[in-house]
Amino acid sequence: MANNKRFIQSLKSQPTDRIPYWYMRQAGRYLPEYLQCRKTAGSFLDLCYNPDFATEVSLQPLRRYDMDAAIVFSDILVIPHALGQSLDFKTGEGPILAPVDDKAKINRLSLTNLHQHLAPVYETIARLHRQIPATTALIGFAGAPWTVASYMVGGRGSPDQAAARTMAYREEALFQQLIDLLVTATSEYLINQVKYGADVIQIFDTWAGNLPDDQFRRWAIEPVRQIIENIRICYPDVPIISFPRGAGCRYPEYIGATGVTAVSVDTTMPLEWVRDHIQPLCPVQGNLDPLLLLTGGERLDRRVREILCLCCLKDGPFIFNLGHGIVPGTPPENVARVSEIIREYQLK
Ligand code: CP3
């Protein structure tokens, strides 16, 4: 069947009339209309688990910037929450979880209520599927097991994921048990997202880059490989993008070993290297610095054009995105400006 979604065409390495674009964390705190909804909803989790609000905030960035893809509004931490771990988002502090750092706590996690707990996310996807324009793709997502486990074991975000990395060395079998549970939960969650109407899946492995080589293979590559294998049993053709942030020169190995359709590349990746070593392997998405999107001006325009030129030189398809998520305080007009430059850029 011919696909009228530019974003999907690009992911399938088919020619497109212009470069598709969307932005990681495109819904959220930089938008006044999001802040208004969050206030009305009460808390961040109330927003995630209420399909009326979640649908509305997923659509807000599309109304402003008409991206080629919408991403369902939720969070990577709904999985630990659905497994029974307590979770709270305190304003200005980020997520706080009751750490699962021993065998008894890990054994208490359970798949029993997974889908019942996540039903509002499925409902939001079903509504978005009906409401977004026919040419816009719908992205479903989850965190990769390593990144999610790092929050579960540490109880909060940390710059080095020391709690999870220590557990992975000291109690390897126990950590493997946690990762295996996350592989099962995440596979089922993503399969259901496709069932309810997601066209594309994105896996966020925000903290993959902090893993040493052997640990990267074991905790970043292997669980994602298994999830992709599980999804493809049910949906062989669904495009799957992964974002192993900080993977560096390990991107090619990651792509080969996981079987992912496309990768999101982070801000640190040199464009020429991406063009020469990643684009020949699969479609690439990236990699504007979110802080340049925040600061704006002539420098932003220049960099957007540089990314567009370099990443389109070779045969490999390209999707314009950021190298990490939009940060709070980003002026909405800068996002509009970048979108305008991409739309005007002609493929040669
Ligand atoms: O617009 C979208 O991209 C869809 C929604 C989305 C959110 N989180 C909403 C959110 C997505 C895709 C995520 C992914 C996510 N969540 C990641 C991976 C991507 C990345 O940015 O690295 C991670 C590590 C998390 C965990 C998380 N959630 C943190 C660390 C925080 C606090 C700080 C932050 O990044 O905002 C959250 C809260 C969160 N998730 C907010 C939003 C809009 C802010 C909540 C608020 O205060 O209103």
Residues 137 and 5 sit within 8 Å (Cβ to Cβ): yes
CATH number at residue 266: 3.20.20.210
pTM assigned to the model: 0.97
Q: Which one is predicted more confidently, 216 or 91? A: 216
How many angstroms is it from 44 CA to the middle of ligand 1? 10
Instruction: Please check the confidence at residue 313 and state whether its pLDDT lies above 70.
Output: no
How many angstroms is it from 262 CA to the middle of ligand 1? 21
Torsional sign, CA 226, 213, 95, 325: negative
Range of the domain at 319: 6-205+218-344
Q: What is the pLDDT of residues 27-71, one digit of tens each?
A: 999 999 999 999 999 999 999 999 999 999 999 999 999 999 999
Nearest CA to ligand 1 atom 46: 44
Mean pLDDT estimate for the chain:
96
Instruction: Please check the confidence at residue 302 and state whether its pLDDT lies above 60.
Output: yes
Instruction: Please check the confidence at residue 1 and state whether its pLDDT lies above 70.
Output: no
What percent of the chain is predicted at pLDDT more than 70? Answer: 98
As a whole number, mean pLDDT of residues 312-318 equals: 74
Residues 295 and 326 sit within 8 Å (Cβ to Cβ): no
Residue 187 belongs to a domain: yes
Report the alpha-carbon distance of residue 218 to residue 216 in Å, rounded: 6
Residue whose token pair is 């706590």: 105
Residue 211 belongs to a domain: no
Residue 148 belongs to a domain: yes
Count of the separate structural domains present in the chain: 1
Q: What tokens appear for 28 in the block?
A: 């959220």
Report the alpha-carbon distance of residue 122 to residue 52 in Å, rounded: 12
* Lowest-pLDDT range of 40-44, 81-85, 232-236, 308-312: 308-312
Q: What is the pLDDT of residues 239-278, one digit of tens each?
A: 999 999 999 999 999 999 999 999 999 999 999 999 999 9
How many angstroms is it from 317 CA to the middle of ligand 1? 27
How many angstroms is it from 33 CA to the middle of ligand 1? 17
Please tell me the predicted confidence (pLDDT) of residue 315: 64
Please tell me the predicted confidence (pLDDT) of residue 126: 98
Residue 212 belongs to a domain: no
Residue 243 belongs to a domain: yes
Instruction: Please check the confidence at residue 300 and state whether its pLDDT lies above 60.
Output: yes
Residue 88 belongs to a domain: yes
Atom of ligand 1 nearest to the CA of 34: 48
Spell out the SS3 assignment of 236-298: CCCCEEEEECCCHHHHHHHHHHHCCCEEECCCCCCHHHHHHHHCCCCCEEEEECHHHHHHCCH
Residue 303 belongs to a domain: yes
Residue 213 belongs to a domain: no
Nearest CA to ligand 1 atom 17: 76
List pocket residues of ligand 1, CB cut-off 6 Å.
24-29, 38, 44, 71, 73, 75-77, 89, 91, 94-95, 141, 157, 204, 206, 325
How many angstroms is it from 56 CA to the middle of ligand 1? 17
